[in-house]
Each structure stands twice: as C-alpha cells, then as structure tokens.
Copies of this chain bind each other. A is one copy, B any other.
C-alpha cells in the first residue's frame, strides 16, 4: 500500500484514477480547488476509509509524505483554459513547481500529466515523442500548450538537477463518464446535443480528425507509467488511442448509438485548431505494455448511459 497524492483528483481523469488507486489498496489523497473538477466525481472514492480530500490550490505549498504523486491539476479543456489564460499558464508552471518541490522533499515519484497539445498543430503524423511540436506562442491555445511545455521542462530539470523521479505522460484526447458537461470538448458536446435533440456542431466542417481513448484505458496507462521500473523512464510517453476518426464520423456514430435525430451543423473553424492529432504509442506499448482496448462504439455507449443519467435526458 502506497501513499498517493492525486492533484486535480476531482477532475475527469483524476477521479477515475483515485478510484483505481483505491481499488488497488492504496491510501489516496486528492487535492483539487474545484475550479473545474467536482466533488460529485469523488462520490464513490469518498466512501473509502483510506481516502482523503484536500480542497486547495496546487500552487500553494503542499505538505505531506507521499511515495507517488500524479499531478493532473490544471484547467484542461479549451472552454476552461481560455476563460483565464494567464491563470492557466500560472497554474501549469507554478503548480508543477510546487509538486516537484514536494517530491524533492519527500522523495516521491511524480507522474506529470502533460498533453498532446505540446505538439500544437503537428506537421508530422502520427506524433512520436521525439517530435518537437508546432506551437504558436501567440495563439489562443498557447496558455495551455506553453504552460504544459514549460511544465515538462521543469520535470526534466528536476530529474537532472535534483534527482526527482519525474515521469511525463502526454495525454491525448480522452473521453468517458464524468467528463464535465459544457466543458467544450467534442465527445461530451456531441452526446449532450444528441440526447437533447439539439444540433451537433461540426466546427470547421468536421473533416479534422482526433483519436479518442476511453478513460479506463488512460488510467491503466498512467498506473503502468507510475509502476514502471525499467530504464529510460524520463523522456515523455504518449498515452492515447492510435485510431483516428474524423469529427464528422464521430458525430454520426454518436447519433446512431444515441438513436438521435439531431441535425449536423457546420460552424466556422476556430483559429489554432489542429487539423489532425494521433499518437504513436510504440514507446508506451513497448516499455509499459500499454494497450488501449475499448472500442469507440463501446465507449460511446457507456458515455451516453452516463450522460443520460446525469442530465436526466432521453
């Protein structure tokens, strides 16, 4: 049994991670300022005796003795991170600084949640970890992209300069139950609209593609990264589903699975929206045994059930 801290533990991925860590018999502390997370996500975790919730800002000095820290605290969807771009970058950099200082003081291993956004609008497909990315420092998404790039750099420097065992997960699009409704992410947007009979908006026509990983597969990947004891743990690991689907195709699948007659509506493209994004997960597959299995249809069905229950629709 390990003492584990999950920053952003009340968020979408963070809360699933808490559940999985508790199921494996760990003692889990979740830290969250609830700015984008929700206590409802921790409903089941909070019934566990070895679970502890801290309401606070990850940038403040965090005390405690942990063997492992999953650092997920940061606004992570465009709708949230654009609301206050300065705060987003500030939280990403200074939250990571605080977590790495904690790890330095207590000897914890750290798994930093980075993002496929560090690749920006990639010129190379699929993206390997060795690709340095294509991010516009002046763009509307840069607060998140550059904030996470700087966080990755801090992890590398704490590793080199201070011997902190920091590992980096570049998380690609993930979906599943507990995604915040109205957070502007395409899967939850589509499911909510389909269940309400409202139009599914194809921004930029829906020809751009993404790859969607179900949250339980993502959690397995994060746990495998934390448990990894082999060589070469320092450089980043892509975690995600390597199957590309266009946004239009996604919309059509959601309509079919939800048995919805919502129309598709084309909207103008947003500036800085990457045209394609798909992980090359060779490294995670080889070193961590990462093997995402949930099919898109199965995952969407689970998500539709979850949103039906939460939204009281359909």
A contacts, CB < 8 Å to B? 84-86, 89-90, 93-94, 97, 100, 118, 120, 132-140, 142-143, 146-147, 149-150, 152-154, 156-158, 160-162, 234-236
Contact = CB atoms under 8 A, between A and B. Distances in A.
Contact of A146 (B84, B94, B139, B150): B150
A131 to B, nearest CB: 10
B236 A138 contact: yes
Contact of A153 (B100, B142, B160): B142
5 contacts: A85-B157, A85-B161, A86-B97, A89-B157, A132-B133
Given A85-B157, A85-B161, A89-B153, A235 B138 contact: yes
Judged by DSSP, the binding face of A is: helix
A20 to B, nearest CB: 28
A86 B137 contact: no
A52 to B, nearest CB: 29
Copies of this chain held together in the complex: 2
Contact of A118 (B93, B132, B137, B236): B137
Nearest to A162: B86
Contacts of A161: 84-86
A235 B234 CA distance: 35
Nearest to A156: B138
Contacts of A140: 160
A160 B84 CA distance: 11
Contact of A150 (B84, B93, B100, B136): B93
Contact of A157 (B86, B149, B152, B162): B86
Contact of A137 (B97, B137, B139, B152): B152
Given A94-B94, A146-B149, 18 more contacts: A86-B161, A86-B162, A89-B93, A89-B154, A93-B150, A120-B132, A132-B135, A132-B136, A132-B137, A133-B135, A137-B152, A138-B153, A142-B153, A142-B157, A143-B157, A146-B150, A147-B150, A149-B149
A143 B159 CA distance: 13
A103 B74 CA distance: 26
A143 B138 CA distance: 19
A298 B153 CA distance: 39
Given A90-B97, A93-B93, A149-B149, A137 B156 contact: yes
